[in-house]
Amino acid sequence: MEIKAIYYLIPSLIMFCCGLYGFLTRRNMIAMLISLELMLNAVDMNFVIFNRFLFPEQLEGMMFTLFAIAIAAAETAVAIAIIINVYRSVNQVDVRTLNQMKF
Amino acid sequence: MFTNILIYFVVIPLVMLGLLALCRDVKQIRAVAVVGSLGLIGLSVYVLLEYLGIRAAGNEDPMLFVDSWSWFAPLNIHLAVGVDGISIAMLLLSSIIVFAGSFASWTIAQPKEFFLWLILLSTGVFGFFISIDLFTMFMFYEVALIPMYLLIGVWGSGNKNYSAMKLTLMLMGGSAFLMLGLIGIYYHSAPEGAPLTWNLLEIVDNAAISHGWQSFLFPMTFVGFGVLGAMFPFHTWSPDGHASAPTAVSMLHAGVLMKLGGYGCFRVAIYTMPQAAHELSWIFLILTGISVVYGAFCACVKTDLKYINAYSSVSHCGLVLFAILMLNETAMTGAIMQMLSHGLMTALFFALIGMIYGRTHTREITQMGGMMQILPYLSVCYVIAGMASLGLPGLSGFVAEMTIFVGSFKAGMADYLAGDGSLRLVFTIIACCSIVITAVYILRVVGKLLFGPVYDNHHRSLTDATWWERLSTATLIVCVACIGCFPNFFNNLINFTFKPAIFSVLGIN
Amino acid sequence: MESVGSIILYTIVCLAIVIFSVLAVTTRKILRAATYLLFTLFAAAVVYFMLDYQFLGAVQIAVYAGGIVVLFVFAILLTSHPGSNSERLASKRRVLGLIASILMLGVCGYSLLSRCNLFAGKPEMEALDMQTVGTAMMGTGAGQYLLPFEAVSVLLLACIIGGIVVARKR
Amino acid sequence: MDYSQFLAMKQEIGLLVVFLLVFLYDTFMPRSTQKGLPAFASIAMLLLTVAGCLGCCLCSCSDVVAFGGMYETSPVISAIKNILNIGVVIVLIQSIKWANGEFMTMRRGEFYELLLVTLFGMYLMISARHFLVFVIGLESASLPLAAMVAFDKNRYESHEAAVKYILTAVFSSAIFMMGLSFVYALAGSLYFENIYGALFVSSTSTMLVIAIAFVIAGIGFKLSLVPFHLWTADVYQGAPTSVTSYLSVISKGATAFAFLVVMAQVFGSLYAQVWEWMLYALIILTITVGNLFAIRQRNMKRFLAFSSISQAGYIMLGVIAYNTLGMAAMMFYILVYIFSNLGAFGVIGAIENASGKVSMDDYRGLYKTNPRLAFTMMLAMFSLAGIPPFAGFFSKFFIFTGALQGASVAIYVLVLIALINTIVSLYYYLLVVKAMFISDDECVIAPFRSSCSERLGMWIALFGIMFLGLLSPVYDSLIDLSSLSSIGMYFIR
Amino acid sequence: MSATIPVLILAIPLFMFIFLGLAGKKMSHLLAGILGTLGMGTVLVLAYYTAFHYFFSGDPAFISEAGERLQYIVFNQTWLQFTDRLVISLGFFLDPISAMMLVVITTISFMVHLYSLGYMRDHHGVFEKGFQRFYAFLSLFSFSMLGLVVATNIFQMYIFWELVGASSYLLIGFYYTKNSAVSASKKAFIVTRFADLGFLIGILVLSFYTGTFDFTSLTSVPVEGMANVYHVDLSTPNAVLGVFQSSAAPMFMGASVLTWALVLIFMGGMGKSAMMPLHIWLPDAMEGPTPVSALIHAATMVVAGVYLVARLFPLYLMEETSLVIVTVVGAITAFYAAMVACAQIDIKRVLAFSTISQIAFMMVSLGVARPEFHEGLGYMASMFHLFTHAMFKALLFLGAGALIHAIGSNDYTAMHGLRKYMPVTHWTFLIGCLAIAGIIPFSGFFSKDEILSACGNYSPLVYVWMSMVAGLTAFYMFRLYYLIFWWKEHKIPEGHHAPHDQAWTMSLPLIILALISCVAGFIPFGKFVSWNGEPYDFMAHFDWGVASISLLVAVLAIILATVMYRKENSLPEKFKNALPALWDWCHHRFYWDELYMFITHKIIFNGICRPLAWFDRHIIDGTMDSFAILTNKASELIRPLQSGQVQMYVWIYIIGALLLGGVTVLCLI
């Protein structure tokens, strides 16, 4: 048996969809961020898999993932800062309570 | 640039705007308004005389005083000006009505702002009439529309918010179609490979708009301008708008702004796309033909003076578009005459209604009566305006309507005999019926409002017209009578445009 | 033809990815979610190793597992009272989430499956040494990444400033 | 390793110098002089703008590609950057009063630093010719902004807005990168040029379409195209007014141009086949939904948020036009939009600073108490609505003209829908005018005198509103630039 | 003939109108009246001079060597040019009938001007309010009527036609504070306007086919014996000749286009001349001051319809059908009006219906005129009757005016036995009655007799019918006469003056008109007026048989009237009770007004206008508003999208992105 690209891609896609599901359903903002991390990670994996299986002679996918990890870290940092900020202000992290502005 | 006389039609209002902004008290404002509008009248008379002189010398160009300055070169947009008899007639009309309107709003509240907007509006109007570049034309057209909102909204009466908004939105809706049509014309204005142009004369010369595109663009432009020309069923802004507008604004709007519609329909839609005009005219003929009688019938039951006049305007302006669509020299001449005539007499009507309303604080004819005994001057003017409206010979309405009927009938019979159906003929006859209905509603108002016993004894203490009101109305009456008595002068002035073989393409005329 | 060991490894890793992902988004304990995330990230790192990108796998472990998850844990400890943050999902929300993710799965899965070149095996690749990565990172030519490197440093600086400003009490 | 290539990035380096200066001022100048920071930053930015404009006018700089094709600059790109600079200068001037407010003391410098970094990110987005650079630019343009949105710590809305912004932004970038991974799978490269070449010869596949959809969604998020727009209103409302105005004009303008570049240089060969119709649908949705929401807004900032959504739809007409005329018109539109919207935000900011009122109901009768502000607001509204002789009319007209060049009937229909929507937009812009001018109520906003900086900002905006359209050289030069630009080569239908 | 005098004939009244209209308020009442009267006097002299010159100077421009009278255009000024050929000109057209009309109009008008100086003031000599206005309007009317009759083309005629309509409107509504006067004036204007619509369309049809408005060209129809008389070059393209000979072909709904045109034009005439069914305005028009009724609604304006048909007579001759229609309408109207006149109480209404009936006589006369019958006797008779009728009907109206002025009421019930108090009025009124009854030697006898002869030539049926109407005429006139002047006078209440004859300004016109009525019959009218210009001796065509029969009928009718009404008796009551339905119908004018009210108010106003206005406000405007409402509704509808829940935002985002891609994929596949 040969492990084909698609065998890696499908778990990665499932990971992405799990992230999506979590992002859409979790009430805790930090849990949402965790879901986001799953999504980002899935994308990273995609790049790496494509790079490795389709275009092994270059490193673009891998480099992209490398930078994407850095970006994800930065995103997480800012997002957590903001969430903590909100927590200070309203004393909870439930995203559904953040609906003062609407319509 | 400033060697061309026409540009001053825009320059003078702009200077007026500047001066108005500097004015400190109401006297200065009035002075600026009066001097400026007199200047405009003088300018238009001067242009008229020059024009006649040049024509008499045998100049056969379709437009005179033509000049063009490049503006947005990449799109070939120019500030192009030029006039023919029709534009000059319209310029005269506008300047007279601005003049009369200034006097009619002599004692308006917040005069500075009012005149600023009013003059901005007239800037647009004048600019529109002198332009022969579609872009500048459209720009001035919209410049003329938007001040209406504030003029009605701030200085209006009654349900003014609703009316102002409705009027603005509907007119802008029309100009949405128009903008699409104009850009479409631009992109088909020249044959393959030649530079595209916005210039009307060049577009007509090129005659490059293909048949298919004409049938798409013609309705766009015609409806676009038709909304302003109060074409059924896009006329409903007119009654509400007029009813709420302050006097001078009603005057200017019915007198001049609605003419933009008719003028544009001819100058842009038909002038550049004669084939489509010929083929599609039946749709609009039906609509405008309906306008004519429909407006008149509606006017018969209204009791608010301004509503009556607004519907009467629908009817009369419908006649303008109706005649334009006949695509025949006589009828189109009549259409322009009707524009002049309707402009003047409706302005007169609205001026008088405003003056009466200013005194009685009601416009319901059921609440008034016997004004002839109380306000003889205004009442007599009202009767004269009414007579002009119902087409009494010697006043302007008659000559315009007759020219239209003669021309339309000719077109209708020609169609009928050629076996092209009797639509034109039938609608001509239907349109003719409007002279009776007009008589009905005019006399109804005159009878109820002016004649009969005094309805409300409080009205007995009212005073008759002041000098500025007299001046305003007298100006208009003299003009109405002038057209009515010496129609051939105007006829010849207008007629020239229709002489050159614009429609040679179609073999019409 | 892969070795049996790698196939077994592959199976384990894949199962880990799928299971821990699902668990991370369904568990009702937030701290557990972070833990499952950590496992998932480790599994991803293993995948990178399996695909011969050892450097990347190392970075993944260092940054993600070492940095981000720790950040999460801190944040969770800051914002939640232990044991109290179990949550019950409204079924409507769940349905909506399921619709979206299944749709996503379907659309993306279809587009992946419709590419036949994805059914190819792993081609041979030269072993990636650190030198190559380093040169690519610092070079200015084609296929070299000095500009993103500099740019990402600006981004990180800005995020630090932003994080501080936001998190600062006053 | 040719580090001299950094010299190609003159504007970015200039911007970083400004950033550094602000940073140094913030860090090392004594506390007493800190109040001078806003002015200092504005002047520095102004100098940069002037230098940029001069450079643009004087040097006939040609297209430069650096970093192995990752970065490109050309006259038209410099021009759009300069346009953004102008907007930023106005924003900075208008925000001086706010930035000198009491509660900003602790983070005055940070505001400017973050703002400059986001601008740097936008520069990168515009100049990027590689998706990695593009993504970094995109993130730099949004992450610090999230922090800026959260600046107003006293207001709860600010927090909520920040959360909404950061969560959706990160989510959107995940989707965007998902799309990118597909693109990468198809083309084997992230260089625009290579992708274009690869896609040019390959056939359309499901994966490609999905990839394009995700890319459009990712960028459309920043542009707030419907249905990727939902964060916009909340964030605009919650953010401090200065940030909102920055977000609404600069961020949007930069992204719009970057979007055009991406669509042309990456997916150009698929215009007619794939993304014209996607964009077609998005434009109709954007304009219509934006307008429909704007109708019922009472909060001025939220109102302008929806107005900006529908304006984004009009801007996209320049992309769907897919020709140099459309591109120039889009740049012109962005320029005009910057002035018009900043005119409006200038007034809103001034009133908010003076009285704390942001509701349209509070604006009733404003003309009686603050005629000049009301007048400025009205002109801004007219310009946004596209009323001549204000600049907005010209930009709208040109963008429609661009869209219709050589267009099919479908595009005519699109433009007609857009035009009909202008009526709806006119309606709600006139509602503001109505509240200020026509309403008879007593105005709750007492007469006040706005600060010099605010007035200066409004004057600049007014000047732009009045004269940008009437003076043709601006548009002419934009046309010249775009007809010379290399992006033009990609405009093949 | 120089144009000066004709221009003055038109210009003086116009000037007086403008002058009195603008400056009237600034001058005294008397001065205004005198100025107006003097102006009219001048016009009278000039018009007499012109007519005299035309008939008697022997100028070859006016009369050919063979003694035929020619048409002559004194001047013709282009007023409005539609196309090269279609031109409206304003000019001055002289031919026998226009010259005659000049005389009639100026005479009556002058009399009325003079008379009004006395009439338009109360018993204390105080002038009525608006006296100057009255004279201004009279001048306007005179101007318009003169312009009408001297029209060189049909459009000029239409122009002045409208103007007389308007001046009639103004004069009927002179007492504008009275609602009845206002509505009467409105009615008059609208009814005639409606008729004018037909006229206008008729003109349009005619001018389309002939390409001209000119009477000269229009009437140069090649009827035998005409072309040489009118000296028209038939080869010109304007000539109607070719057009209608070839266009006899175009038919429309079973009639030739020419017939349609002529019938439509006749419709205009019906309106102005108050033929059935467009007569309803004329009785109401009596709300105006009585001199106005005398001038406009008896002598001049109402005969414009007759004049119009006479003017276009050669054209009518081409289409038998149109003349038959004229005859039938005339005959029915004549009888109807005579019947109604028998049952009216208001003396002015009696006179009004009498006027309708007499004009119908003229119409019938024109309708039965054929060249082959006594060389078109009917035409001449019609014109003759027009002339004599103008005189005696003006006389009767002015007399009635004197009575009304004296009594202050229009009802004969308020009068009775006035012959003692007002002898001048009595005698002149009697002369008028005799003239209209057709008693020899008063003028009416001759003209009416000619008409009956013409009818007799045409068809015995018409003859009998018209003779019956002539008898009715005599009957109702004498009924009126007796009811006014005989019977027992009312008691004069204490402190009131007895009614008495009037000032000389009022008496003089009565006397002059009475004299004319006495002698006018002896004018050899045929010498001056005939259908083709050839003079003929009308005594040669005088049918003594017809004359004696009609005289007999008239005398019998008078005797009947005498029996019934000379003294108060029960005969009328009995008669009324015997035929109550007939009386009711006659008294209520056969319910025409009610019918019109029904049509205009119930059908047009309530059935068309109101629904249309409703339609406009609710359907059309509602549609426009509904765009706004729909937009608002849509806005409301999509509001939940912006729920404030960030997860919903994202959900929409992802679904949007997937749909965007998915739908495109589906479309591409």
String of DSSP letters for D143-178 = HHHHHHHTT-TT-HHHHHHHHHHHHHHHHHHHHHHH
CB contact under 8 A, B330 and E82: yes
- The model's pLDDT over D343-381, given as tens digits with 9 standing for 90+, comes to 999 999 999 988 888 899 899 989 989 999 999 999 999
Amino acid at D163: V
CB contact under 8 A, A43 and D177: yes
| Residue E654 with chain A: CB contacts under 8 Å | 20, 24
Q: Would you say residue A103 lies in a domain?
A: no
What tokens appear for E404 in the block? 């009304």
Q: Domain limits at A30? A: 5-97
D72 three-state secondary structure: strand
Q: Chain A neighbours among C 135-164 (CB < 8 Å)?
A: 136-137, 143, 145, 148-149, 152, 155-156, 159-160, 162-164
For D139, which residue in chain A has the nearest alpha carbon? A71
CB contact under 8 A, C152 and A65: no
User: Among the three residues C32, C54, C86, which one is the final residue of a domain in this structure?
Assistant: C86
Q: What pairing do the DSSP bridges indicate for beta strands B64-72 and B77-83?
A: antiparallel
Residue D83 to residue B317: CA distance in whole angstroms: 47
The closest CB to that of E635, out of D206, D278, D296, belongs to: D296
CB contact under 8 A, D230 and E649: yes
Q: Domain limits at C59? A: 1-86
For chain A, list the contacting chains (3+ Cβ pairs, <8 Å): C, D, E
CB contact under 8 A, A85 and D184: no
Residue E152 to residue E92: CA distance in whole angstroms: 6
String of DSSP letters for E34-48 = HHHHHHHHHHHHHHH
- Interface test with chain D among A21, A75, A92, A103, by most D beta carbons within 10 Å: A75
Residue E346 to residue C36: CA distance in whole angstroms: 113
Tell me which residue has tokens 């033509």: B66
Q: Does E653 touch chain C (CB under 8 A)?
A: no
- Interface test with chain A among C118, C119, C138, C149, by most A beta carbons within 10 Å: C118
Residues C8 and C71 in one domain: yes
Radius of gyration of chain C (CA): 20
The strand ranges marked E within E213-265 are 251-252, 255-256
Q: Would you say residue C110 lies in a domain?
A: no
Residue A43 to residue D178: CA distance in whole angstroms: 5
Cβ atoms of D391 and D466 within 8 Å: the answer is: yes
For chain B, list the contacting chains (3+ Cβ pairs, <8 Å): D, E
What is the 3-state secondary structure of chain C? Answer: CCCHHHHHHHHHHHHHHHHHHHHHHHCCCHHHHHHHHHHHHHHHHHHHHHCCCHHHHHHHHHHHHHHHHHHHHHHHHHHCCCCCCCCCCCHHHHHHHHHHHHHHHHHHHHHHHCCHHHHCCCCCCCCCCHHHHHHHHHCCCCCCCHHHHHHHHHHHHHHHHHHHHHHCCC
Query: For position B509, what pLDDT does the model report?
Result: 40
Residue E538 to residue E526: CA distance in whole angstroms: 5
Cβ atoms of A59 and C50 within 8 Å: the answer is: no
Q: Would you say residue A59 lies in a domain?
A: yes
Residue D354 to residue D331: CA distance in whole angstroms: 34
Tell me which residue has tokens 């014209």: D276
Domain count, chain C: 2
Written as tens digits, the pLDDT of chain B (509 aa) is: 778 889 999 999 999 999 999 988 899 999 999 999 999 999 999 999 999 999 888 888 888 899 999 999 888 999 999 998 899 999 999 999 999 999 988 888 889 999 999 999 999 999 999 999 999 999 999 999 889 999 999 998 888 899 999 999 999 999 999 999 999 999 998 888 888 999 988 888 888 888 889 999 999 999 999 999 888 889 889 888 988 899 888 898 888 889 999 999 988 988 888 888 888 888 999 999 998 999 999 998 988 999 999 999 999 999 999 999 888 888 888 999 999 999 999 999 999 999 999 888 888 888 888 888 888 899 999 999 999 998 888 898 899 999 999 989 888 888 887 777 788 888 998 999 889 999 989 999 988 888 888 888 888 888 888 899 999 999 999 999 999 999 989 988 888 877 665 565 555 44
First to last CA, chain D: 39
| Residue D160 with chain A: CB contacts under 8 Å | 86, 98, 100-101
Q: Does D15 touch chain A (CB under 8 A)?
A: no
User: Where does residue C168 fall: left (phi above 0), alpha (psi -120 to 50 degrees), or beta otherwise?
Assistant: beta
The domain limits of chain D are: 3-490
Alpha carbon of E639: minimum distance to chain A alpha carbons (Å): 6
CB contact under 8 A, E655 and C93: no
Q: Span E99-126, mean pLDDT? A: 86
> What residues of chain A have any CB closer than 8 angstroms to a CB in chain E?
20, 23-25, 32, 95-96, 98-103
Q: Is the peptide bond before E460 cis (omega within 30 degrees of 0)?
A: no
Q: Would you say residue A47 lies in a domain?
A: yes
| Residue A23 with chain E: CB contacts under 8 Å | 647, 650
Half-sphere exposure of residue D213: CA atoms within 13 angstroms, side-chain side: 27
Query: For position D312, what pLDDT does the model report?
Result: 94
What tokens appear for C73 in the block? 């844990």
In terms of Cβ atoms closer than 10 Å to its own Cβ (0-12, 13-18, 19+), residue C98 is middle
What tokens appear for D470 in the block? 């009437």
CB contact under 8 A, D296 and E636: yes
Q: Would you say residue C109 lies in a domain?
A: no
Q: Where are the alpha helices (DSSP H) in A1-103?
A: 5-25, 29-53, 60-90
String of DSSP letters for E62-124 = TB-TTS-B--EEEEEEEEEESSSS-EEEEEEEESHHHHHHHHHHHHHHHHHHHHHHHHTB-TT
- The model's pLDDT over D478-492, given as tens digits with 9 standing for 90+, comes to 998 888 888 888 887
Residue C114 to residue D23: CA distance in whole angstroms: 52
- Sorting pLDDT into bands at 50, 70 and 90, what band is E226? very low
The pTM (predicted TM-score) of the whole model is: 0.92
Residue E323 to residue D257: CA distance in whole angstroms: 84
The closest CB to that of C158, out of D68, D132, D144, belongs to: D144
Half-sphere exposure of residue D107: CA atoms within 13 angstroms, side-chain side: 22
**Which CATH number characterizes residue A85's domain?**
1.10.287.3510
Q: Supply φ then ψ for residue B63, to 5 degrees.
A: -130, 150
Residue E496 to residue A73: CA distance in whole angstroms: 119
| Residue D273 with chain E: CB contacts under 8 Å | 668
User: Among the three residues C56, C86, C116, which one is the final residue of a domain in this structure?
Assistant: C86
Residues C76 and C8 in one domain: yes
Q: Do chains E and D touch (3 or more CB pairs under 8 A)?
A: yes
The closest CB to that of C162, out of D70, D121, D147, belongs to: D147
Residue E138 to residue E37: CA distance in whole angstroms: 10
Cβ atoms of D404 and D326 within 8 Å: the answer is: no
Q: Is the peptide bond before B13 cis (omega within 30 degrees of 0)?
A: no
Nearest to B248 by CA among B161, B159, B166, B346: B346
The closest CB to that of D207, out of C114, C144, C162, belongs to: C114
Q: Does E660 touch chain C (CB under 8 A)?
A: no
Residues C3 and C81 in one domain: yes
CB contact under 8 A, E647 and A103: no
Residues C3 and C78 in one domain: yes
- The model's pLDDT over B59-107, given as tens digits with 9 standing for 90+, comes to 888 888 999 999 998 889 999 999 988 999 999 999 999 999 999 888 8
Q: Chain A neighbours among D 162-201 (CB < 8 Å)?
A: 162-164, 166-167, 170-171, 173-174, 177-178, 180-182, 184-185, 188-190
For A101, which residue in chain E has the nearest alpha carbon? E644
- The model's pLDDT over D294-352, given as tens digits with 9 standing for 90+, comes to 998 999 999 999 999 999 999 999 999 989 999 999 999 999 999 999 999 999 999 99
Give chain A's mean pLDDT: 91
Tell me which residue has tokens 């409507």: C92
Q: Would you say residue C101 lies in a domain?
A: no
Residue B402 to residue E197: CA distance in whole angstroms: 12
CB count in 10 Å sphere of residue E622 = 13
Residue E33 to residue B95: CA distance in whole angstroms: 41
Q: Does C82 touch chain A (CB under 8 A)?
A: no
Residues C135 and C79 in one domain: no
Q: Do chains C and D touch (3 or more CB pairs under 8 A)?
A: yes
CB contact under 8 A, C100 and E647: no
User: Among the three residues C55, C86, C117, which one is the final residue of a domain in this structure?
Assistant: C86
DSSP character for D100? Answer: T
Cβ atoms of B264 and B210 within 8 Å: the answer is: no
Q: Is the peptide bond before B74 cis (omega within 30 degrees of 0)?
A: no
- Interface test with chain E among A21, A23, A26, by most E beta carbons within 10 Å: A23
Q: Span E359-368, mean pLDDT? A: 88
Question: At residue E246, does pLDDT exceed 60?
Answer: no
Domain count, chain A: 1
Residues C10 and C81 in one domain: yes
What is the 3-state secondary structure of B71-126? Answer: EEHHHCEEEEEEECHHHHHHHHHHHHHHHHHHHHCCCCCCHHHHHHHHHHHHHHHH
Q: Supply φ then ψ for residue D470, to 5 degrees.
A: -65, -30
Apex B334 CA angle, B425 and B484, nearest 5: 125
Give percent of chain A above pLDDT 90.
63
Residues C133 and C81 in one domain: no
Residue B240 to residue B237: CA distance in whole angstroms: 6
Residue E647 to residue E637: CA distance in whole angstroms: 20
